[in-house]
Each structure stands twice: as C-alpha cells, then as structure tokens.
Amino acid sequence: MASKPTGGRRKRANSVKEVIDQIETDPAHHLAGPFVNTSPTPPSEGEVPTPKVADKNGHVFNGVSRKKRAKAGPPQPDFLNNGLWSDITSLNWARVPSSALFLMSIPVLLFLQWQIISPNAPNPFRFLLMIQYQVPGTSDPVMYQKGYGDLAFLAYYVIVFCFIRQFLTLHVLRPLGWKWGVRKEAKLDRFTEQGYAMIYFSTSGALGLWAMYHAPTWFFQGRHYFQDYPYWKMTKFMKSYYLLQFSYWLQQFLILVLRLEKPRKDFKELVIHHIVTLWLIGWSYLINLTPIGNAVFITMDVSDIFLAFVKLLNYLKFEAATPVAFGWLVLVWSYTRHYLNLQILWDVYNDFDLVPKWAQQWAPETGAWLVPWMKWQIFAPLALLQAVNLFWYFLIWRILLRALFKDKLADERSDDEDDGKPDDENDKGD
C-alpha cells in the first residue's frame, strides 16, 4: 500500500536517541548550534548560482569586492528605520536604542521638573529611578525592604536594559565582529548576542560574588539560608542587585515571547528556562529568601561567562584556543551548575527545618512565609532548573566526545542560522 504524502512536514523522531541527535546537529540550537560541524551545501537541482564578480585579488562576495564591503562596514538592520511613533506603538523600541533612550529620558525629565517645582514634596518619579523603602531607624548600613513601588523600578529598568543591550550590540559589538571577519548576517547577530552575554554575566557574576561575600552565606554556607530567616531587610546593594537581575530577565523574556527577534528552533526550550528563572527570582524575593537566590544567580552567571566566551572563539574561528576554552567550560559548568546547585538542593531538603519556629507560619506582615509545605515549593523549581541543566550538560559532553574522537570542535561554519547557505569560500581572511 502506498504511503501517504507528508505534505512537507518534518518526519517525527521515533526515539529519544533520534531527538538527541537532531538537537546535537541543529545549527540553530542555542547551546549545540555554534559547535555543529557542517559542510557547505551544494545548490539544489535547477538552482542558478548567484553571479560573482572578482576584484583584482580574486576576492568576491555577491558582486561586491571584499575591500569595498569591509570598508562599508556592517549593514544596518531594517528595523532601525521605522520612526519613533511606530517603534513605540509596535514595541519595536525594545530593539531600537534611540527609541528606548527617548522612553528612558521621560521619567528623568519629569523627576527633575518635580524637584525644581516642588523640592520639599515627595517625588513620585523616584520609584522608577531609585531604590526605595528604607527601613526606619537603620544605619551603618542603611537597610531596605520590599514595596509595591519596586514594580515601577522593574518596569523602568526593563527599558534601560533594552537600551544597553541594543546600543552595545548594534554600535559596539556589531562593528567589532565585522572588523574581526564575521561577515555572515546570522553569525554576526549571534556574535553580538554572545558578546553582550559575556559582558552582562561577567558584571552580574562579579556583583553576585561581592553581595555574597558580605553576607553570612559566604561561600555557599547553606544553613544560613534558613537559620537566619526571614531576610526582609536588605542592604541597598543587595536590593539593587536583585531587582536589576529581575529586570534583566524580564527584558530577555519580553524579547523572546514577543518575538521581536528571529525565533530559534529551540524557542520552547528557552521559554521554559526563562519562566523557571523568573519564577525563582520573583518567588524568592517575595518570600524573603534573597540569599538562596543570590547563590543560584552566581552558579548560573559564572558558567554563562565561559559558555559565551567559547561561542565567541568559535565564531571567530580561533581553532587552537576553542578546545582549551571548551575544556574550561566543562569544568566550570560541572562545578557551578551541578555540584553547587545540587548542594543548594540538599541544603533546602536538609536544612529547611532550621527556620526559626516563629517564622514557620504564613504571616507576610511579619516577613514570614515558610510554612512546612513551602519546602517543596522552593525545592521544585530548583529541581526543574537542575533537570534543564543536566540535559544541556549531556549535550556538552556529546559535543566534547565528538570533538575528541570524531571531528574538530569548530569548523569553518559554526552557526548557519539564517538560510542554510555556506559562507563564501573566498571570504576567508576578511
């Protein structure tokens, strides 16, 4: 009996192994993609190759010489040309730094105007720009608590992170990647994303370690997560650090779910990761467990520095340095995302009963939320995050073993995520 036509549908995998193989060889996967070893794809039957005109040195690229193309610089994305009002109404301001800067400036100007007109009256715009809710009577250090105005702070700094991200990627990292020879549009986009990730996580990782260093939980002393609970009073540094991390992940989630950028093939996987991350951040802040959130931030951010660095080396085709950096990534990832995270899980399971008896109640007005069943509400998202990390860890080891016993870790094409077409072979050395 003749088989039914598939109608162009992708064949469904028949086993877990097939699914893993698809992910490992998927050039658009956010973790495995940059390390896919892909050969140039020949033109399909009947396809007419694009005519190429060589310059005097024989270097060509779709009719434009390498020197002219390099001198012209990277092409500007089309979304920069829509106009301010269109950016605001379509949420495109999240991608256009000038529009984000305009939105950022409005609260600043209103704040300054209020200070001039009514310097002795409480300024309502302070909730957008600065940390609020100082605990009365505290000094050396001054302590802060939560408040509904923190939501305004989060919303404003989502806009700030949109501006910072797009300014760096479009006006710093994109020209830098172009100068260093990253010419293909999809690779250039991924290069800027990983460059920004390395900048952000290097900063947040250092700030997180600094925050923990000045807390009883240094260095991952898990019993202090619970025996000193509740942590409803925070230093200005800790509260700023925590809310800025929250704003960063809200901004990342906004970009993802609104599809303001081209979705990757592992879109659903990343959505799940971001939801779990926001769940952990928001819930730990609400129930006064910021030290455990600080610990998880560090374990994730430090490993992300090395992941972004390895990807950057691979995009730049540093074939000698990439395997060494990848080896360091495996070591750091193993220690931070698994050893330390499993230790945090054990601390939740084993030390939860160290919560003071008076705080083992649902009494938000006193800062206490940790009734007995909350142990599992804390444990569950941490375990889910560990499951996602174990899946990625498995992929990392598959990549490493493939590099050791089969192919090179990095090939000329590390991430062809736009149209599946190879880089021009004459474009090497741009």
Over residues 298-348, the pLDDT tens digits come to 999 999 999 999 999 999 999 889 889 999 999 999 999 999 999 999 999
Q: Which of 67, 82, 202, 183 is nearest to 174 (CA)?
A: 183
- At residue 329's C-alpha, the angle toward residues 345 and 295, to 5°, is 30
Q: Is 59 helix (H, G, I), strand (E, B) or coil?
A: coil
H-helix or E-strand containing 234?
A: strand 234-235
H-helix or E-strand containing 235?
A: strand 234-235
Longest CA span, the chain: 86
Long-range pairs for 147-154 at CB < 8 Å and ≥24 separation? 150/243, 152/127, 152/128, 153/127, 153/128, 153/129, 153/243, 153/247, 154/243, 154/246, 154/247, 154/250
Read off the pLDDT of each residue in 258-281 and give the average, rounded to a whole number. 80
Q: Is 91 helix (H, G, I), strand (E, B) or coil?
A: coil
Q: Which of 198, 132, 128, 201 is nearest to 158 (CA)?
A: 128
Interval 48-63: pLDDT, tens: 444 444 444 334 445 5
Interval 158-187: pLDDT, tens: 999 999 999 999 999 999 999 999 989 889
pTM: 0.82
